[in-house]
């Protein structure tokens, strides 16, 4: 885990040491061991926990290169073998980060292409007088920066940027619009006006007072391989997945694993068990008093067959509120996803058991197609109609589609999908507020506001995939997976002082998954199958018990919030969103917030997503403004 931070700018040349100390103090929850390097107007630093191996500040004095690093590298030995002139230290014992200067020297700014891991890296090239910021392929670890007042500063968290005293906390209204209307607030934008973020799989180069970003991961060039059978794909994916699990287990530390009862976490644990890595493994499951949401029977199968120590966490409404409130303090940007509360509780329980790393199953839904892909899958048969015709007939529904729960509302939403551009449709399947509602919330007229789909346009516009479903999944992987799911998981793990390990985001596995034609991933549901994740279930057959592969879990690590908000947590929701001290009142139209809240509580809106969006933003504002 750990964190990195630093700056360059003549305005800070005489105060570098003190400024680095301030930034390190803001990152103390991510590690107490500090290391730093300063040279005139440039300062770089890193923190890590005592249990983390290897150096976090690496200096090649001969060539004038300094790198600060955080995270984990899983293929250090292979990287070392690929170098013409590797450094003298044992790469595996040191964790692999001491290879960074050599990788940069031999491979240039794309040096991270073949690193298998999760990481944030900053590298100062003295000869070129340039600073490089590098974020891991899928974006599990974040890297923020700010340019202004003669200073370029960067850090793993925004708190360290604010500690410099030269970065404002002013929020961006355009990004609030993105929060309500896009899959996530995605890099390079953040919710703060003066804070930017490096895109996943990219390197940002700051030189001569200017910043430019480049992709080092050519995943956008991948195309489906149509000449192969499902059996061939399944064999390749199965081998890659098991290796992704094993190399993460080799990173060491006392480990735990989340146990949801679903295919994904079950496959991770089964792979550990197959390779003899599950002995002493602590399992952590979230349970609820509401029996309808229990996945205990599926969880029990994994506990019994893999010999994992069982730790059940009974999450009550009060415990959920505690996780929601406390976890918000560790989110650099708000996320439309209350599941972070359960993750925070689970990771904290793992830390209490002495775990230093916890395996989890995030990412499989996005690369292999799960239930939330069903909408895009089902609507494709209508896309044979020319868009001009669809826009003419259904376009009027797009701006004001309702969030309501009635049959009419649902029909209008489907008709609106038919009138949307591909970009709009792909970016709004996961519930978002309609343009009309967003305008009311933000007090804007219909034509105002920024481009909330700029990140989606960037990713969808560059991919060479051909299958419509694969294209949709590609966008989810680059945006929703990175900027919501992986972001919240890493932040909640860091809040507990541990590392989360996520085999499904191994870049080799992701690349292989997108070569698989969509017909091997999803099909119409039947009595025998729900039609989702077909190729991965084929790959996992024999590894994961059939009882799990052939059944659908109910909740996993999400919570029955809709039930709680209507019952035990009704006063909490009412007071948070409509109370006199609500922070939202200074940012959003109070009447519109009240309408959305009451429409849900009184049953006119069936989806609790819209209340969650407002509730999480309110709690986030209390912690960060």
Residue 439 CA neighbour count, 13 Å, CB half = 11
User: In which residue ranges of the chain is CATH 3.40.50.620 found?
Assistant: 221-363+483-520+534-549
Residues with Cβ within 8 Å of residue 278, at least 6 apart in sequence: 269, 272, 306, 307, 308
Strand order in the sheet with 151-155: 33-39, 42-48, 3-8, 151-155, 144-148, 196-197
CATH topology of domain 221-363+483-520+534-549: Rossmann fold (3.40.50)
Q: What's the token pair of residue 229? A: 């059978």
Handedness of CA 527, 360, 323, 179 (dihedral sign): negative
**Token pair 């948070």 is at which residue?**
576
Tell me the residue length of the chain.
Answer: 625
Retrieve residue 341's tokens: 């509360």
Task: Write down the pLDDT at residue 94.
Answer: 61
Alpha-carbon torsion (239, 241, 244, 250), positive or negative: negative
pLDDT of residue 91: 42
Residue reference for tokens 């007071």: 575
User: What's the 3-state SS for 263-285?
Assistant: HHHHHHHHHHHHCCCCCCCEEEE
**Backbone dihedral angles phi then psi of residue 553, each to the nearest 5 degrees:** -70, 160
What separation in angstroms does the CA of 148 have from each of 62, 167, 376? 32, 8, 42
Q: Tokens at residue 53, please?
A: 């191996």
Looking at the chain, the domain(s) classified CATH 3.60.20.10 span: 3-216
Q: How many CB atoms lie within 10 A of CB 554?
A: 17
Are 55 and 73 within 8 A, CB to CB? no
CATH topology for 3-216? 3.60.20
Q: Tell me the C-alpha distance between 382 and 362, whole Å.
A: 31
Say how far apart CA 227 and CA 520 lie, in whole Å.
12
Q: Which of 553, 614, 616 is nearest to 300 (CA)?
A: 553
For the chain, 625 residues long, the average pLDDT of each consecutive 10-residue run is 89 76 94 84 91 84 92 95 82 74 96 97 95 98 92 96 93 95 94 97 95 97 97 98 97 94 95 90 91 83 94 94 97 95 96 97 96 91 93 89 81 90 91 89 76 94 96 96 97 97 98 98 88 96 94 65 94 93 93 93 87 96 94
Contacts of 252 (CB under 8 A, 6+ apart): 53
- Residues whose CB is less than 8 angstroms from the CB of residue 133 and which lie 6 or more positions away in sequence, other chains included: 120, 121, 122, 143, 145, 154, 198, 203, 204, 206
Token pair recorded at residue 551: 């059944």
Provide the pairing of β-strand 357-359 with 309-314. unpaired
Q: Which helix (H) or strand (E) holds 57?
A: strand 57-60
- Can you tell me the distance from the alpha carbon of 175 to that of 275, in angstroms, rounded to the nearest whole number? 45
User: Which pLDDT does position 89 carry in this prediction?
Assistant: 56
Show Cβ contacts of residue 380 under 8 Å, excluding neighbours closer than 6 positions: 468, 469
- Whether residue 425 contacts residue 379, with contact meaning beta carbons closer than 8 Å, is answered with yes
* Rounded Cα gap, residues 44 and 69, in angstroms: 10
pLDDT at 446: 60
DSSP-based three-state secondary structure for 5: strand
Within 65-201, strands assigned E span 65-73, 117-125, 130-135, 144-148, 151-155, 196-197
pLDDT at 92: 43
Rounded to whole angstroms, what are the CA distances from 533 to 303, 438, 544?
23, 34, 14
Angle (CA) 34 39 40, round 5°: 125
- Please name the residues in contact with 331: beta carbons below 8 A apart, sequence gap of 6 or more: 340, 487, 488, 491, 620
- CB atoms under 10 Å from CB of 260, counted, come to 24
**In 3-state terms, the chain is what percent helix, strand and coil (to 5)?**
50, 15, 35
């Amino acid at each position: 885990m750990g964190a990195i931070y630093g700056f360059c700018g003549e305005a800070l040349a005489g105060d570098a040491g003190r400024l680095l100390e301030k930034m390190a103090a803001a990152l103390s929850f991510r590690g107490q061991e500090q290391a730093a390097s300063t040279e005139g107007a440039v300062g770089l630093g890193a923190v890590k926990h005592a249990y983390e191996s290897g150096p976090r500040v690496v200096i090649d004095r001969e060539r004038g290169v300094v790198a600060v690093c955080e995270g984990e590298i899983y293929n250090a030995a292979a990287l070392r073998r690929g170098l013409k002139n590797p450094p003298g230290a044992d790469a595996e014992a040191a964790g692999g980060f001491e290879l960074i200067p050599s990788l940069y020297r031999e491979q240039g700014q794309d040096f991270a292409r073949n690193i298998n891991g999760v990481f944030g890296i900053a590298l100062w090239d003295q000869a070129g007088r340039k600073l490089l910021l590098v974020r891991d392929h899928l974006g599990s670890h974040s890297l923020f920066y700010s340019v202004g007042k003669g200073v370029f500063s960067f850090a793993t968290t925004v708190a360290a940027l604010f500690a410099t005293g030269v970065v404002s906390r002013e929020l961006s209204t355009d990004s609030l619009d993105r929060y309500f209307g896009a899959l996530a607030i995605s890099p390079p934008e953040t919710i703060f006006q003066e804070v930017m973020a490096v895109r996943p799989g990219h390197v940002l180069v700051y030189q001569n007072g200017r910043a430019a970003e480049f992709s080092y991961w050519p995943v956008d060039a991948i195309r489906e391989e149509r000449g192969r059978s499902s059996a061939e794909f399944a064999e390749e994916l199965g081998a890659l997945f098991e290796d992704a699990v094993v190399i993460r287990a080799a990173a060491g530390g006392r480990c735990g694993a989340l146990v949801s009862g679903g295919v994904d976490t079950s496959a991770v644990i089964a792979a550990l068990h197959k390779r003899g890595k599950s002995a002493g493994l602590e399992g952590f499951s979230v349970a609820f008093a509401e029996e309808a949401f229990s996945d205990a029977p599926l969880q029990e199968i994994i506990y019994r067959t893999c010999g994992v120590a069982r730790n059940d966490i009974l999450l009550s409404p009060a415990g959920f509120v505690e996780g929601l409130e406390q976890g918000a303090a560790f989110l650099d940007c708000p996320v439309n996803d209350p599941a972070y509360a359960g993750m925070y509780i689970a990771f904290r329980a793992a830390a209490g058991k002495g775990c230093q790393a916890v395996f989890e199953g995030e990412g499989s839904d996005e690369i292999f197609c799960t239930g939330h892909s069903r909408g895009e899958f089902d609507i494709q048969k209508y896309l044979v109609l020319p868009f001009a015709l669809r826009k003419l007939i259904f376009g009027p529904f797009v701006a004001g589609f309702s969030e309501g729960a009635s049959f009419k509302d649902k029909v209008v939403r489907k008709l609106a999908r038919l009138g949307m551009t591909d970009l709009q449709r792909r970016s709004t399947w996961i519930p978002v507020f309609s343009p009309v509602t967003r305008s009311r919330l933000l007090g804007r007229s219909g034509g105002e506001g920024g481009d909330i789909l700029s990140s989606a346009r960037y990713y969808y516009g560059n991919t060479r995939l051909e299958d419509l479903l694969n294209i949709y999944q590609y966008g989810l992987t680059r945006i929703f997976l990175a900027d919501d799911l992986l972001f919240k998981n890493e932040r909640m793990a860091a809040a507990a002082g541990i590392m989360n390990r996520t085999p499904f985001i191994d870049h080799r596995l992701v690349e292989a998954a997108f070569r698989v034609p969509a017909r091997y991933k999803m099909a119409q549901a039947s009595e025998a199958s729900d039609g989702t994740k077909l190729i991965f279930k084929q790959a996992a057959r024999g590894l994961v018990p059939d009882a799990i592969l052939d059944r659908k879990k109910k909740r996993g690590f999400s919570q029955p919030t809709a039930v709680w908000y209507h019952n035990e947590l009704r006063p909490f929701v009412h007071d948070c969103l409509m109370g006199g001290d609500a922070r939202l009142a200074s940012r959003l139209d109070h009447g519109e917030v009240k309408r959305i809240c009451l429409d849900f509580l009184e049953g006119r809106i069936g989806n609790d997503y819209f209340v969650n969006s407002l509730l999480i933003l309110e709690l986030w504002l209390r912690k960060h403004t």
